[in-house]
Amino acid sequence: METKLEQLTRTLYDEGLAKGREEADRLLKEAGEQAEAIVKKARAEAEGIVRQARESADELRTNTLNEVAEAGRGMVSQIRGQIVELVVSRSLASVGSVTLDAGFLRELILTVARNWNGRGGGLVALLPQRAELDKNFSATVDALLKAGLEVGYSDRVRSGFRIAERDGGYYIDFSDESFEALLGEYLRDRAAEILFGGGE
């Protein structure tokens, strides 16, 4: 039979073993809960990183598409402008230099002079310096002088004529360049409307 000492030893041993198992179970449970919390936190962080990466990728894609679209609109606008300029330059080239006969030119200058509302002391008609104009225009120059206009020649007037106040106030330009500038603005707007439905 077992002695009391052996029973006591066995009881202490069994109690210690039970307490050790309980402690081990408690530690295992805590370790499992901590591991689960760590895994849960790691998953949440990973999901956050993935979500942030997707948002960044979406933002980058949107910005890139916007930049490509803007560049495309700019390119279309530039091409439209070049087409309009080509149409206008071809149209103006087909107009060519205005060749006026001397009689029509005289009547045009006299009409402008008669309707001048300036308060200056007389008008000056500036004509281009061209030999053929001098040959065909001497009678017209005489008529202008008789009408009280001063007639001069200028390197600045290459075609048509310019009429101005003697004191240099302001002038009206009837040159090819001024007609081209005026007509060019009209043609530019009109060409854009015809080609692209209302402008660039």
How far is residue 48's CA from residue 62's CA, in Å, rounded to a whole number? 21
* Amino acid present at 12: L
Q: Say which residue the tokens 């901590």 belong to.
A: 34
Q: What is the DSSP letter of 168?
A: -
Are residue 5 and residue 34 in the same domain, yes or no? yes
Q: Which of 46, 72, 95 is the last residue of a domain?
A: 95
Q: Say which residue the tokens 């040959």 belong to.
A: 135
Are residue 109 and residue 90 in the same domain, yes or no? no
- Per-residue tens of pLDDT for the chain, all 200 residues: 568 878 878 888 888 888 888 888 899 999 889 999 999 999 999 999 999 999 999 999 999 999 998 988 888 888 877 877 777 777 666 655 545 566 666 777 777 777 776 554 577 777 666 545 555 566 666 667 666 677 766 666 666 676 777 666 667 777 767 767 777 777 778 777 777 775 44
Which tokens belong to 138?
């001497």
Residues across the chain: 200
State the residue range of the domain holding 45.
1-95
Number of domains in the chain: 2
Are residue 91 and residue 120 in the same domain, yes or no? no
Number of helices (H), then strands (E), in the chain: 4, 4
How far is residue 108's CA from residue 103's CA, in Å, rounded to a whole number? 9
Q: Which of 95, 117, 139 is the last residue of a domain?
A: 95
